[in-house]
Amino acid sequence: MRCPGDVVLPGENLLAPTLALTKCRIPLGDFSQFAVALSDYSRRGTAVKEFWKAWRLGNVREELLREAGVRYVAVSKRTEGVPAKIPSVLSEVFENSQFAIFKVRKESLSEAVPNPSRV
């Protein structure tokens, strides 16, 4: 089940600032493992770590964006960096000397249908 609203995938140091600017208060962070089943929490935590590892190598793992319904990716240029070539699945909506925010083009995500048991 998904709640209405947008999903933001913040970089490592942007979780607290992102939550401070939103109405949502369910992070993937301290104590969030108690909000969902442990298996779901562990699987999503692993997927997020793999996403950022790939991102730092210049790759975008579309499956997490699709499965989690991510609409925005927020990055610190210092910690996550920005890929040299922005994939077509992302469009930049904000950038300054420290941060960049990308909007996920859902229509550009690969057409593979996600497994409902993994969402």
Residue 10 predicted with pLDDT over 60: yes
Q: Which domain holds residue 41?
A: 7-25+35-118
Number of domains present in the structure of the chain: 1
Residue 89 predicted with pLDDT over 50: yes
How many C-beta neighbours within 10 Å does residue 26 have?
Answer: 10
Domain assignment of residue 2, yes or no: no
What pLDDT does 73 receive?
Answer: 94
d(CA 75, CA 107): 22
pTM, two decimals, is 0.74
d(CA 94, CA 8): 14
Domain assignment of residue 30, yes or no: no
Counting residues of the chain whose pLDDT is more than 90, the rounded percentage is 33
Residue 107 predicted with pLDDT over 60: yes
Question: Which of 79, 45, 41, 75 shows the shortest CA–CA distance to 60?
Answer: 75
